[in-house]
Amino acid sequence: MIKLEHVVKRYHGQRDALSRVSLVINKSEMVFVAGHSGAGKSTLLRLIMLLERPTRGRITVNDIDLQSISSAGIAQYRRKIGMVFQDHRLLFDRSVIENVLLPLTILGTERKEAFRRARAALDKVRLLTRERAMPKELSAGEQQRVGIARAVVTRPSILLADEPTGNLDPNLSREVMLLFDEFNRVGVTVVVVSHDLSLISQLGHRQIRLEEGGLI
Amino acid sequence: MLRLKFNNWIFHHRISSAESLSRVLSRPFGSFIICCLIAMTLAFPISGSLLVKNLESLISKVIYEPSLSVFLDDQIPESKGRQIAESIKNWEQIKDLEFLTAEAALLKLGEDSGFGDLLLRLDTNPIPATLLLTLDSYLSYEDSEALGSQLLAIPEISNVIIDHAWLERLKNFLALGYRIIFLLTISLGLAAAIVISSMVKLAIENRREEIVVIKLVGGSDAFLRRPFLYMGLWYGFGGGVLASNLVIFAEALVISQVDALLLSYQSEYKFISLRVVEAVNIAVLGGVLGILGAWGAVIRHVPQIEP
Protein backbone atom coordinates (compact mmCIF):
# COMPACT_ATOMS: atom_id res chain seq x y z
CA MET A 1 0.00 0.00 0.00
CA ILE A 2 1.17 3.50 -0.81
CA LYS A 3 -0.07 6.30 1.44
CA LEU A 4 0.59 10.01 1.11
CA GLU A 5 -0.46 12.32 3.93
CA HIS A 6 -0.48 16.10 3.34
CA VAL A 7 2.58 15.86 1.14
CA VAL A 8 4.13 19.11 -0.03
CA LYS A 9 7.05 19.37 -2.37
CA ARG A 10 8.51 22.77 -3.01
CA TYR A 11 11.55 23.42 -5.14
CA HIS A 12 13.73 26.34 -4.17
CA GLY A 13 12.15 29.60 -5.23
CA GLN A 14 9.28 28.00 -7.10
CA ARG A 15 5.61 27.32 -6.44
CA ASP A 16 4.65 24.01 -4.84
CA ALA A 17 5.16 21.09 -7.25
CA LEU A 18 2.86 19.13 -4.94
CA SER A 19 0.52 20.88 -2.57
CA ARG A 20 -0.85 19.01 0.46
CA VAL A 21 -1.53 15.82 -1.47
CA SER A 22 -3.14 12.99 0.48
CA LEU A 23 -4.00 9.72 -1.20
CA VAL A 24 -3.98 5.98 -0.71
CA ILE A 25 -3.13 3.39 -3.35
CA ASN A 26 -4.16 -0.02 -2.11
CA LYS A 27 -2.19 -3.20 -2.37
CA SER A 28 -2.60 -4.89 -5.79
CA GLU A 29 -4.38 -1.85 -7.17
CA MET A 30 -3.58 -0.28 -10.51
CA VAL A 31 -3.95 3.48 -10.76
CA PHE A 32 -3.23 6.06 -13.37
CA VAL A 33 -1.87 9.44 -12.37
CA ALA A 34 -3.01 11.90 -15.00
CA GLY A 35 -2.60 15.57 -15.54
CA HIS A 36 -1.04 18.19 -17.75
CA SER A 37 2.64 18.83 -18.01
CA GLY A 38 3.90 20.40 -14.77
CA ALA A 39 0.93 19.13 -12.75
CA GLY A 40 3.25 17.24 -10.37
CA LYS A 41 2.80 13.67 -11.71
CA SER A 42 6.48 12.87 -12.04
CA THR A 43 7.25 14.60 -8.73
CA LEU A 44 4.78 12.23 -7.08
CA LEU A 45 6.61 9.20 -8.49
CA ARG A 46 10.01 10.64 -7.62
CA LEU A 47 8.88 11.04 -4.01
CA ILE A 48 7.58 7.45 -3.86
CA MET A 49 10.83 6.22 -5.45
CA LEU A 50 12.82 8.25 -2.90
CA LEU A 51 14.58 10.14 -5.64
CA GLU A 52 13.54 13.17 -3.64
CA ARG A 53 12.24 13.88 -0.17
CA PRO A 54 9.00 15.78 0.47
CA THR A 55 9.24 19.30 1.90
CA ARG A 56 6.42 18.40 4.31
CA GLY A 57 4.07 15.51 4.92
CA ARG A 58 4.47 11.79 5.22
CA ILE A 59 4.75 8.97 2.68
CA THR A 60 4.32 5.35 3.72
CA VAL A 61 5.07 2.48 1.34
CA ASN A 62 4.25 -1.06 2.47
CA ASP A 63 4.10 0.22 6.05
CA ILE A 64 7.54 1.78 5.81
CA ASP A 65 7.70 5.49 6.59
CA LEU A 66 10.02 6.81 3.89
CA GLN A 67 11.21 9.54 6.25
CA SER A 68 12.81 6.83 8.38
CA ILE A 69 14.97 5.54 5.52
CA SER A 70 18.50 6.91 5.73
CA SER A 71 20.60 7.77 2.68
CA ALA A 72 22.38 4.44 3.05
CA GLY A 73 19.07 2.58 3.05
CA ILE A 74 17.70 4.17 -0.13
CA ALA A 75 19.36 1.64 -2.46
CA GLN A 76 17.92 -1.21 -0.41
CA TYR A 77 14.44 0.38 -0.64
CA ARG A 78 14.61 0.93 -4.40
CA ARG A 79 15.41 -2.75 -4.95
CA LYS A 80 11.89 -3.56 -3.76
CA ILE A 81 10.23 -1.30 -6.31
CA GLY A 82 10.17 -1.66 -10.09
CA MET A 83 10.43 1.53 -12.09
CA VAL A 84 9.81 2.13 -15.79
CA PHE A 85 10.95 5.37 -17.40
CA GLN A 86 9.78 7.29 -20.43
CA ASP A 87 13.31 7.27 -21.87
CA HIS A 88 13.80 3.58 -20.95
CA ARG A 89 17.13 4.24 -19.17
CA LEU A 90 18.82 1.21 -20.69
CA LEU A 91 22.57 0.65 -20.72
CA PHE A 92 23.45 0.79 -24.39
CA ASP A 93 26.78 -0.98 -24.06
CA ARG A 94 25.11 -4.09 -22.61
CA SER A 95 22.90 -6.62 -24.32
CA VAL A 96 19.18 -6.94 -23.66
CA ILE A 97 19.62 -9.81 -21.21
CA GLU A 98 22.48 -8.02 -19.40
CA ASN A 99 20.19 -5.02 -18.91
CA VAL A 100 17.49 -7.24 -17.46
CA LEU A 101 20.03 -9.08 -15.29
CA LEU A 102 21.25 -5.83 -13.70
CA PRO A 103 18.78 -5.64 -10.76
CA LEU A 104 19.36 -9.33 -10.02
CA THR A 105 23.13 -8.82 -10.01
CA ILE A 106 22.63 -5.98 -7.53
CA LEU A 107 20.44 -8.25 -5.41
CA GLY A 108 23.12 -10.95 -5.52
CA THR A 109 20.86 -13.56 -7.08
CA GLU A 110 22.61 -16.78 -7.95
CA ARG A 111 23.73 -16.62 -11.59
CA LYS A 112 21.79 -19.58 -12.95
CA GLU A 113 18.63 -18.46 -11.20
CA ALA A 114 19.20 -14.88 -12.37
CA PHE A 115 19.39 -16.00 -16.00
CA ARG A 116 16.28 -18.10 -15.58
CA ARG A 117 14.35 -15.16 -14.17
CA ALA A 118 15.68 -12.70 -16.72
CA ARG A 119 14.61 -15.00 -19.55
CA ALA A 120 11.19 -15.44 -17.95
CA ALA A 121 10.81 -11.64 -17.75
CA LEU A 122 11.89 -11.25 -21.36
CA ASP A 123 9.44 -13.98 -22.35
CA LYS A 124 6.71 -12.09 -20.55
CA VAL A 125 7.37 -8.99 -22.66
CA ARG A 126 7.80 -11.17 -25.77
CA LEU A 127 11.47 -10.36 -26.31
CA LEU A 128 13.10 -13.68 -25.49
CA THR A 129 14.35 -14.09 -29.04
CA ARG A 130 16.21 -10.74 -28.78
CA GLU A 131 18.08 -11.47 -25.55
CA ARG A 132 21.52 -11.15 -27.21
CA ALA A 133 20.62 -8.01 -29.15
CA MET A 134 21.99 -4.63 -28.17
CA PRO A 135 19.40 -1.98 -27.20
CA LYS A 136 20.25 0.22 -30.19
CA GLU A 137 19.18 -2.64 -32.48
CA LEU A 138 15.67 -2.52 -30.99
CA SER A 139 12.71 -0.30 -31.81
CA ALA A 140 11.44 2.24 -29.25
CA GLY A 141 8.62 -0.11 -28.26
CA GLU A 142 11.01 -3.02 -27.80
CA GLN A 143 13.36 -0.87 -25.74
CA GLN A 144 10.44 0.08 -23.52
CA ARG A 145 9.57 -3.60 -23.09
CA VAL A 146 13.17 -4.32 -22.07
CA GLY A 147 12.77 -1.54 -19.49
CA ILE A 148 9.60 -3.21 -18.23
CA ALA A 149 11.29 -6.62 -18.08
CA ARG A 150 14.09 -5.05 -16.03
CA ALA A 151 11.55 -3.45 -13.69
CA VAL A 152 9.65 -6.68 -13.02
CA VAL A 153 12.53 -9.17 -13.00
CA THR A 154 12.98 -8.85 -9.23
CA ARG A 155 9.23 -9.52 -8.77
CA PRO A 156 8.57 -6.23 -6.99
CA SER A 157 5.31 -5.71 -5.15
CA ILE A 158 5.08 -2.18 -6.56
CA LEU A 159 5.67 -1.09 -10.13
CA LEU A 160 5.95 2.62 -10.96
CA ALA A 161 5.90 3.86 -14.53
CA ASP A 162 6.64 7.44 -15.51
CA GLU A 163 5.08 8.26 -18.90
CA PRO A 164 5.96 4.79 -20.25
CA THR A 165 4.15 5.40 -23.52
CA GLY A 166 5.40 8.94 -24.05
CA ASN A 167 7.54 8.02 -27.06
CA LEU A 168 5.37 5.27 -28.51
CA ASP A 169 2.68 5.18 -31.17
CA PRO A 170 -0.92 4.37 -30.10
CA ASN A 171 -0.67 0.64 -30.87
CA LEU A 172 2.58 0.18 -28.97
CA SER A 173 1.23 2.34 -26.15
CA ARG A 174 -1.76 0.07 -25.78
CA GLU A 175 0.48 -3.01 -25.86
CA VAL A 176 2.65 -1.58 -23.06
CA MET A 177 -0.38 -0.64 -20.96
CA LEU A 178 -1.78 -4.13 -21.35
CA LEU A 179 1.48 -5.49 -20.02
CA PHE A 180 1.09 -3.39 -16.89
CA ASP A 181 -2.45 -4.67 -16.63
CA GLU A 182 -1.15 -8.24 -16.75
CA PHE A 183 1.30 -7.57 -13.92
CA ASN A 184 -1.47 -6.00 -11.89
CA ARG A 185 -3.61 -9.11 -12.33
CA VAL A 186 -0.96 -11.20 -10.57
CA GLY A 187 -1.05 -8.88 -7.56
CA VAL A 188 1.48 -6.16 -8.34
CA THR A 189 0.51 -2.63 -7.29
CA VAL A 190 0.93 -0.54 -10.43
CA VAL A 191 1.13 3.25 -10.59
CA VAL A 192 1.32 4.66 -14.11
CA VAL A 193 1.86 8.32 -14.81
CA SER A 194 0.37 9.30 -18.15
CA HIS A 195 -1.16 12.25 -19.91
CA ASP A 196 -2.87 10.01 -22.51
CA LEU A 197 -6.41 10.25 -21.19
CA SER A 198 -8.04 8.27 -23.99
CA LEU A 199 -5.76 5.30 -23.38
CA ILE A 200 -6.30 5.52 -19.62
CA SER A 201 -10.07 5.54 -20.08
CA GLN A 202 -9.94 2.39 -22.21
CA LEU A 203 -8.27 0.37 -19.44
CA GLY A 204 -10.76 1.35 -16.80
CA HIS A 205 -8.60 1.60 -13.69
CA ARG A 206 -8.80 4.30 -11.05
CA GLN A 207 -7.48 7.68 -12.09
CA ILE A 208 -5.79 10.22 -9.87
CA ARG A 209 -5.94 13.66 -11.46
CA LEU A 210 -3.37 16.30 -10.58
CA GLU A 211 -3.47 19.96 -11.48
CA GLU A 212 -0.88 22.55 -10.43
CA GLY A 213 0.35 20.23 -7.71
CA GLY A 214 -3.02 19.47 -6.17
CA LEU A 215 -5.51 16.64 -6.46
CA ILE A 216 -8.71 17.33 -8.34
CA MET B 1 21.91 -18.36 3.31
CA LEU B 2 25.03 -16.56 4.54
CA ARG B 3 27.17 -18.86 2.42
CA LEU B 4 25.03 -18.09 -0.62
CA LYS B 5 25.33 -14.35 0.00
CA PHE B 6 29.10 -14.70 0.37
CA ASN B 7 29.32 -16.71 -2.87
CA ASN B 8 27.31 -14.05 -4.67
CA TRP B 9 29.51 -11.34 -3.22
CA ILE B 10 32.59 -13.18 -4.46
CA PHE B 11 30.89 -13.68 -7.80
CA HIS B 12 30.20 -9.97 -8.13
CA HIS B 13 33.82 -9.21 -7.30
CA ARG B 14 34.86 -11.58 -10.06
CA ILE B 15 32.50 -9.92 -12.51
CA SER B 16 33.63 -6.42 -11.48
CA SER B 17 37.32 -7.28 -11.71
CA ALA B 18 36.95 -8.99 -15.10
CA GLU B 19 34.80 -6.16 -16.46
CA SER B 20 37.26 -3.52 -15.23
CA LEU B 21 40.18 -5.42 -16.72
CA SER B 22 38.42 -5.67 -20.03
CA ARG B 23 37.70 -1.91 -19.95
CA VAL B 24 41.36 -1.19 -19.18
CA LEU B 25 42.49 -3.52 -21.98
CA SER B 26 39.97 -2.11 -24.43
CA ARG B 27 42.09 1.07 -24.51
CA PRO B 28 45.55 -0.52 -24.77
CA PHE B 29 47.50 2.62 -25.72
CA GLY B 30 45.88 4.91 -23.15
CA SER B 31 46.17 2.30 -20.41
CA PHE B 32 49.81 1.65 -21.30
CA ILE B 33 50.61 5.37 -21.01
CA ILE B 34 48.94 5.53 -17.59
CA CYS B 35 50.86 2.43 -16.45
CA CYS B 36 54.10 3.99 -17.75
CA LEU B 37 53.44 7.16 -15.73
CA ILE B 38 52.89 5.09 -12.60
CA ALA B 39 55.91 2.92 -13.42
CA MET B 40 58.18 5.94 -13.69
CA THR B 41 57.07 7.33 -10.35
CA LEU B 42 57.69 3.93 -8.72
CA ALA B 43 60.92 3.03 -10.55
CA PHE B 44 62.77 6.15 -9.43
CA PRO B 45 62.75 5.49 -5.66
CA ILE B 46 63.22 1.75 -6.24
CA SER B 47 66.39 2.38 -8.26
CA GLY B 48 67.65 4.81 -5.64
CA SER B 49 66.97 2.32 -2.90
CA LEU B 50 68.84 -0.38 -4.82
CA LEU B 51 71.80 1.95 -5.30
CA VAL B 52 71.99 2.85 -1.61
CA LYS B 53 71.59 -0.81 -0.66
CA ASN B 54 74.53 -1.70 -2.89
CA LEU B 55 76.69 1.08 -1.48
CA GLU B 56 75.87 0.01 2.04
CA SER B 57 76.69 -3.58 1.27
CA LEU B 58 79.93 -2.53 -0.42
CA ILE B 59 80.99 -0.48 2.60
CA SER B 60 80.17 -3.30 4.99
CA LYS B 61 82.63 -5.44 3.06
CA VAL B 62 85.46 -2.92 3.43
CA ILE B 63 87.80 -4.43 5.99
CA TYR B 64 89.25 -1.75 8.14
CA GLU B 65 90.75 -1.39 11.56
CA PRO B 66 89.85 1.72 13.46
CA SER B 67 92.92 3.85 13.90
CA LEU B 68 93.99 7.19 15.31
CA SER B 69 96.87 9.49 14.38
CA VAL B 70 98.09 11.22 17.53
CA PHE B 71 100.28 14.30 16.98
CA LEU B 72 102.64 15.27 19.77
CA ASP B 73 103.58 18.79 20.61
CA ASP B 74 106.44 19.78 18.25
CA GLN B 75 108.45 21.14 21.17
CA ILE B 76 108.85 17.90 23.05
CA PRO B 77 111.98 15.80 22.56
CA GLU B 78 111.91 12.32 21.01
CA SER B 79 112.64 10.63 24.33
CA LYS B 80 109.62 12.23 25.92
CA GLY B 81 107.53 11.15 22.95
CA ARG B 82 108.63 7.55 23.33
CA GLN B 83 107.89 7.78 27.04
CA ILE B 84 104.31 8.86 26.29
CA ALA B 85 104.01 6.04 23.74
CA GLU B 86 105.09 3.54 26.37
CA SER B 87 102.64 4.96 28.88
CA ILE B 88 99.59 4.51 26.67
CA LYS B 89 100.63 1.38 24.80
CA ASN B 90 98.91 -0.92 27.23
CA TRP B 91 95.54 0.85 27.26
CA GLU B 92 92.92 -1.80 26.63
CA GLN B 93 91.44 -0.13 23.51
CA ILE B 94 94.83 0.00 21.80
CA LYS B 95 95.80 -3.05 19.79
CA ASP B 96 99.00 -1.72 18.32
CA LEU B 97 101.09 1.43 18.59
CA GLU B 98 103.83 2.76 16.34
CA PHE B 99 105.96 5.72 17.27
CA LEU B 100 107.11 7.90 14.36
CA THR B 101 109.66 10.62 14.79
CA ALA B 102 108.90 13.89 13.03
CA GLU B 103 111.10 12.87 10.09
CA ALA B 104 109.58 9.42 9.83
CA ALA B 105 106.08 10.92 10.03
CA LEU B 106 106.90 13.29 7.15
CA LEU B 107 108.20 10.39 5.06
CA LYS B 108 105.10 8.35 5.77
CA LEU B 109 102.84 11.24 4.85
CA GLY B 110 104.80 11.62 1.64
CA GLU B 111 104.37 7.93 0.85
CA ASP B 112 100.69 7.82 1.69
CA SER B 113 99.76 11.02 -0.11
CA GLY B 114 102.02 10.61 -3.13
CA PHE B 115 103.48 14.09 -2.54
CA GLY B 116 106.73 12.76 -1.07
CA ASP B 117 109.09 14.79 -3.30
CA LEU B 118 107.19 17.95 -2.69
CA LEU B 119 107.19 17.51 1.09
CA LEU B 120 110.94 16.81 1.15
CA ARG B 121 111.58 20.16 -0.48
CA LEU B 122 110.08 22.03 2.46
CA ASP B 123 112.52 24.08 4.58
CA THR B 124 110.99 23.01 7.84
CA ASN B 125 109.10 19.86 8.76
CA PRO B 126 105.51 20.79 9.58
CA ILE B 127 104.74 17.29 10.93
CA PRO B 128 105.45 16.64 14.60
CA ALA B 129 106.35 13.27 16.11
CA THR B 130 103.34 11.04 15.70
CA LEU B 131 101.83 7.97 17.34
CA LEU B 132 99.92 5.67 15.00
CA LEU B 133 97.37 3.80 17.07
CA THR B 134 95.54 0.73 15.77
CA LEU B 135 92.45 0.16 17.87
CA ASP B 136 90.51 -2.93 18.67
CA SER B 137 88.10 -3.60 15.81
CA TYR B 138 85.10 -3.86 18.11
CA LEU B 139 85.40 -0.17 19.00
CA SER B 140 82.67 2.02 17.63
CA TYR B 141 83.21 5.45 16.17
CA GLU B 142 81.98 6.98 19.41
CA ASP B 143 84.52 4.88 21.37
CA SER B 144 87.25 6.18 19.07
CA GLU B 145 86.09 9.73 19.69
CA ALA B 146 86.10 9.14 23.45
CA LEU B 147 89.62 7.73 23.29
CA GLY B 148 90.71 10.73 21.23
CA SER B 149 89.38 13.07 23.92
CA GLN B 150 91.15 11.05 26.57
CA LEU B 151 94.42 11.36 24.68
CA LEU B 152 93.98 15.07 24.13
CA ALA B 153 93.88 15.47 27.89
CA ILE B 154 97.58 14.58 27.94
CA PRO B 155 99.38 17.97 27.75
CA GLU B 156 102.09 16.76 25.34
CA ILE B 157 99.50 15.74 22.73
CA SER B 158 98.47 18.56 20.44
CA ASN B 159 96.02 16.88 18.07
CA VAL B 160 94.23 13.59 17.41
CA ILE B 161 92.78 12.58 14.07
CA ILE B 162 90.35 9.69 13.71
CA ASP B 163 91.58 8.05 10.51
CA HIS B 164 88.37 6.14 9.75
CA ALA B 165 86.14 9.23 10.02
CA TRP B 166 85.55 9.13 6.23
CA LEU B 167 83.81 5.78 6.62
CA GLU B 168 81.58 7.16 9.31
CA ARG B 169 80.73 10.15 7.14
CA LEU B 170 79.90 7.83 4.27
CA LYS B 171 77.63 5.81 6.54
CA ASN B 172 75.89 9.01 7.57
CA PHE B 173 75.48 9.94 3.92
CA LEU B 174 73.91 6.55 3.25
CA ALA B 175 71.55 6.98 6.18
CA LEU B 176 70.61 10.36 4.70
CA GLY B 177 70.19 8.64 1.32
CA TYR B 178 67.72 6.18 2.86
CA ARG B 179 65.76 9.06 4.38
CA ILE B 180 65.64 10.90 1.06
CA ILE B 181 64.51 7.74 -0.72
CA PHE B 182 61.85 7.18 1.91
CA LEU B 183 60.52 10.71 1.34
CA LEU B 184 60.74 10.23 -2.42
CA THR B 185 58.84 6.96 -2.16
CA ILE B 186 56.08 8.65 -0.20
CA SER B 187 55.81 11.70 -2.46
CA LEU B 188 56.09 9.77 -5.73
CA GLY B 189 53.75 7.08 -4.41
CA LEU B 190 51.31 9.87 -3.67
CA ALA B 191 51.82 11.19 -7.20
CA ALA B 192 51.05 7.71 -8.61
CA ALA B 193 47.91 7.54 -6.48
CA ILE B 194 46.86 10.99 -7.74
CA VAL B 195 47.38 9.92 -11.36
CA ILE B 196 45.17 6.87 -10.77
CA SER B 197 42.63 8.96 -8.89
CA SER B 198 42.36 11.35 -11.86
CA MET B 199 41.92 8.47 -14.31
CA VAL B 200 39.22 6.90 -12.17
CA LYS B 201 37.49 10.26 -11.78
CA LEU B 202 37.44 10.55 -15.57
CA ALA B 203 36.05 7.01 -15.87
CA ILE B 204 33.31 7.87 -13.35
CA GLU B 205 32.37 10.95 -15.38
CA ASN B 206 32.31 8.89 -18.59
CA ARG B 207 29.99 6.37 -16.97
CA ARG B 208 27.73 8.91 -15.27
CA GLU B 209 24.62 7.71 -17.11
CA GLU B 210 25.32 4.09 -16.19
CA ILE B 211 25.80 5.07 -12.54
CA VAL B 212 22.44 6.88 -12.57
CA VAL B 213 20.68 3.82 -14.03
CA ILE B 214 22.31 1.47 -11.52
CA LYS B 215 21.26 3.77 -8.67
CA LEU B 216 17.72 3.85 -10.03
CA VAL B 217 17.46 0.07 -9.93
CA GLY B 218 18.84 -0.13 -6.41
CA GLY B 219 22.61 -0.25 -6.80
CA SER B 220 24.36 0.95 -3.65
CA ASP B 221 27.46 3.13 -3.60
CA ALA B 222 29.48 0.08 -2.51
CA PHE B 223 28.22 -1.83 -5.54
CA LEU B 224 29.13 1.08 -7.80
CA ARG B 225 32.55 1.58 -6.23
CA ARG B 226 33.77 -1.95 -6.95
CA PRO B 227 34.52 -1.75 -10.70
CA PHE B 228 36.33 1.55 -10.23
CA LEU B 229 38.41 0.19 -7.36
CA TYR B 230 39.38 -2.74 -9.58
CA MET B 231 40.24 -0.28 -12.33
CA GLY B 232 42.63 1.44 -9.91
CA LEU B 233 44.03 -1.94 -8.92
CA TRP B 234 44.74 -2.90 -12.53
CA TYR B 235 46.38 0.42 -13.37
CA GLY B 236 48.49 0.30 -10.20
CA PHE B 237 49.42 -3.35 -10.63
CA GLY B 238 50.30 -2.78 -14.29
CA GLY B 239 52.39 0.23 -13.27
CA GLY B 240 54.13 -1.84 -10.60
CA VAL B 241 54.96 -4.65 -13.03
CA LEU B 242 56.29 -2.11 -15.53
CA ALA B 243 58.32 -0.39 -12.77
CA SER B 244 59.99 -3.70 -11.85
CA ASN B 245 60.82 -4.31 -15.48
CA LEU B 246 62.19 -0.79 -15.87
CA VAL B 247 64.51 -1.32 -12.89
CA ILE B 248 65.62 -4.73 -14.22
CA PHE B 249 66.27 -3.15 -17.61
CA ALA B 250 68.28 -0.30 -16.05
CA GLU B 251 70.25 -2.85 -14.03
CA ALA B 252 71.06 -4.84 -17.15
CA LEU B 253 72.31 -1.64 -18.80
CA VAL B 254 74.72 -0.63 -16.01
CA ILE B 255 75.77 -3.91 -14.42
CA SER B 256 78.69 -4.66 -16.76
CA GLN B 257 80.10 -1.13 -16.21
CA VAL B 258 79.69 -1.45 -12.44
CA ASP B 259 81.45 -4.82 -12.43
CA ALA B 260 84.30 -3.43 -14.51
CA LEU B 261 84.64 -0.47 -12.14
CA LEU B 262 84.68 -2.72 -9.08
CA LEU B 263 87.22 -5.01 -10.71
CA SER B 264 89.51 -2.05 -11.30
CA TYR B 265 89.52 -1.62 -7.51
CA GLN B 266 90.31 -5.35 -7.11
CA SER B 267 86.91 -5.83 -5.57
CA GLU B 268 85.05 -9.09 -5.95
CA TYR B 269 81.81 -7.45 -4.88
CA LYS B 270 78.69 -8.73 -6.62
CA PHE B 271 76.06 -6.17 -7.48
CA ILE B 272 72.78 -6.75 -5.58
CA SER B 273 70.00 -7.03 -8.16
CA LEU B 274 66.25 -6.69 -7.73
CA ARG B 275 65.03 -10.03 -6.38
CA VAL B 276 61.90 -11.74 -7.67
CA VAL B 277 60.15 -11.29 -4.32
CA GLU B 278 60.96 -7.56 -4.42
CA ALA B 279 59.61 -7.29 -7.96
CA VAL B 280 56.40 -8.97 -6.80
CA ASN B 281 56.25 -6.59 -3.82
CA ILE B 282 56.55 -3.60 -6.16
CA ALA B 283 53.66 -4.90 -8.27
CA VAL B 284 51.60 -5.41 -5.10
CA LEU B 285 52.56 -1.93 -3.86
CA GLY B 286 51.43 -0.53 -7.21
CA GLY B 287 48.13 -2.36 -6.82
CA VAL B 288 47.63 -1.02 -3.30
CA LEU B 289 48.42 2.53 -4.47
CA GLY B 290 45.96 2.00 -7.30
CA ILE B 291 43.19 0.99 -4.93
CA LEU B 292 43.96 3.94 -2.63
CA GLY B 293 43.96 6.38 -5.54
CA ALA B 294 40.72 4.94 -6.91
CA TRP B 295 39.18 5.02 -3.44
CA GLY B 296 39.97 8.73 -3.21
CA ALA B 297 38.05 9.29 -6.45
CA VAL B 298 35.05 7.02 -5.85
CA ILE B 299 34.45 8.13 -2.30
CA ARG B 300 34.02 11.73 -3.52
CA HIS B 301 32.44 11.36 -6.94
CA VAL B 302 30.14 8.32 -6.86
CA PRO B 303 27.85 9.65 -4.09
CA GLN B 304 27.62 12.99 -5.90
CA ILE B 305 25.91 11.40 -8.90
CA GLU B 306 22.24 11.18 -8.15
CA PRO B 307 19.32 10.17 -10.40
Summarised one tens digit per residue, pLDDT across range B133-188 is: 998 878 888 888 899 999 999 988 999 998 878 878 888 888 898 899 999 999 99
Closest Cβ–Cβ partner in B8, B11, B218 for A79: B218
Q: How far is A52 from chain B (nearest CA, A)?
A: 9
Per-residue pLDDT tens for B23-70? 999 999 999 999 999 999 999 999 998 888 888 888 777 666 788 899
Q: Is A197 on the interface with B (CB under 8 A)?
A: no
A80 contact residues in B (CB cutoff 8 A): 218
Most B CBs within 10 Å, among A47, A69, A105, to test the B interface? A105
The b-or-e profile of B154-190 (16+ CB within 10 A means b, else e) is eeebeebebbbeeebeeeeeeeebeeebeebbeebbe
A4 belongs to a structural domain: no
What letter does residue A133 receive in the DSSP assignment? S
Structural domains present in chain B: 15-61+169-301 (no CATH), 67-163 (3.30.70.3040)
Asked if A85 and B216 come within 8 Å (Cβ–Cβ), the reply is yes
Residue numbers of the domain that contains A100? 91-155
Instruction: Assess if residue A170 is contained within a domain.
Output: no
Tens digit of each residue's pLDDT (9 = 90 or more) over B235-273:
999 999 999 999 999 999 988 888 888 888 777 778 888
- A residues 94..153 contacting B (CB < 8 A): 102-103, 105-111, 150
Which positions 26-45 of B are in contact with A (Cβ < 8 Å)?
none
**Partner residue opposite A110 with nearest CB, options B4, B212, B215:** B4
What is the interface pTM, i.e. ipTM, of the complex? Answer: 0.91
Q: Kindly give the residue spans of alpha helices, DSSP state H, lying in chain A.
A: 41-48, 74-78, 96-107, 111-124, 140-152, 170-185, 197-203
In chain A, the number of structural domains is 1
Which segments in chain A show pLDDT lower than 50? Answer: none
Contact A106 B210 (CB under 8 A): no
User: Is B8 within 8 Å of A108 when comparing Cβ atoms?
Assistant: yes
Q: Which of B3, B12, B217 should one mutate to test binding to chain A, selecting the residue with the greatest count of A CBs within 10 A? A: B217
> Higher-confidence residue: B60 or B216?
B216
CA–CA separation, A189 and A59 (whole Å): 16
Q: What is the dihedral of CA B221, B227, B228, B234, to 10 degrees?
A: 150
**Of A19, A25, A23, A26, nearest to A43 (Cα)?**
A19
Q: Is A135 within a domain?
A: yes
